Structure 1
Amino acid sequence: MAETGLSLIVVTLNEADIIDETLGRLQGLRHAGSELIIVDGGSQDDTLTRVTPLASRVIQSPPGRARQMNAGADAARGNHLVFLHADTQLPPHADRLVMNALSRDHRWGRFDIRLQGRHPMLGVIAFAMNHRSRLTGIASGDQTLFMTREAFDTAGGFPDQPLMEDIEMSRRLKRLSTPACLREKVTSSGRRWDRDGAWTTIRLMWRLRFRYWRGESPETLAREYRHVR
Structure 2
Amino acid sequence: MNRVSVIIPTLNEAQTIGDLIRYLVNNSALPEQLEIIVVDGGSTDNTIPIVNNVSSSIVEWSPKTINCAELNITLLHSEKGRAKQMNLGAKNASGNILYFLHADSFPPQNFDGFIINEIESGNQAGCFRMQFDSNHWWLRLASWLTQFSWRACRGGDQSQFILRKLFDDIGGFDERYIIYEDNILINELFKRKQFVVINKKIQTSSRLYKKHGVWKLQYHFWTIYVKKWFGASADDLFTYYKKHLG
Structure 2 partner of 1:139: 154
CA shift, 1:49, in A, is 0.3
1:152–1:138 Cα change, 3 Å? farther
* Counterpart among 174, 180, 185 of residue 169 in structure 1: 185
Relative to the length of structure 2, the TM-score reads: 0.86
Supply the AA of the counterpart residue of 2:103. A
Partner residue in 1 for 2:91 = 74
For residues 207-226 of structure 1, the aligned pairs below 5 Å read 207-226=223-242
Measured after TM superposition, the shift of residue 79 of structure 1 is: 0.2
In structure 2, which of residues 139, 142, 145 is the aligned counterpart of residue 125 of structure 1? Answer: 142
Unaligned runs of 5+ in 1: none
Counterpart Cα distance in 1 of 2:238 and 2:195: 26
Identity %: 30
CA shift, 1:174, in A, is 2.5
Work out whether residues 99 and 161 of structure 2, in 8 Å CA contact, stay in contact via their aligned partners in 1: yes
1:187 match? 203
1:39 aligns with: 39
Tell me how far apart the structure 1 counterparts of residues 152 and 89 of structure 2 sit (CA, whole Å).
24
Distance 2:207 2:120 in 1: 34
Deviates more, 1:218-227 or 1:116-125: 116-125
- Is the Cα–Cα contact under 8 Å of residues 102 and 148 in structure 1 kept in the other structure? yes
In structure 2, what residue type is equivalent to 1:43?
A: S
Shift of 1:137: 7.7
Determine helix, strand or coil for the equivalent of 1:78: coil
How big is the shift at 1:148?
A: 0.5
The CA deviation at 1:177 is: 3.4
Deviation at 1:149? 0.6
Closer/same/farther in 2, CA of residues 140 and 7 from structure 1, 3 Å limit:
same
The offset of 1:21, in angstroms, is 1.5
Structure 2 residue ranges without an equivalent (≥5): 56-72
* CA displacement 1:85-121 (0-9 Å, x = unmatched): 0000010110110000111231100100000036443
Cα distance, 1:130 vs structure 2: 4.1
Matched residues, number: 225
Aligned to 2:22: 24
* CA distance in structure 1 between the partners assigned to 2:119 and 2:20 by the alignment: 24
SS in 1 for 2:75: strand
Instruction: Quickly say closer, same or farther: Cα 1:181–1:226, change in 2 above 3 A.
Output: same
- Structure 1 residues 37-116: aligned runs within 5 Å: 37-55=37-55, 56-116=73-133
Q: SS where residue 33 of structure 2 aligns?
A: coil
Task: Label 1:31 to 1:54 Cα distance change in 2 as closer, same or farther (>3 A).
Answer: farther
Report the Cα distance in structure 2 between the residues aligned to 1:64 and 1:130, rounded to whole angstroms: 28
SS of equivalent to 2:150:
helix
What SS does the aligned partner of 2:79 have?
A: coil
What is the distance in 1 between the residues matched to 2:153 and 2:124? 14
Q: Structure 1 residues 120-129 or 70-79, which shifts more? A: 120-129
Counterpart secondary structure, 2:15: coil
Q: CA deviation at 1:66?
A: 0.6
The Cα RMSD (Å) is 1.8
Change (3 A) 1:102 1:138: farther
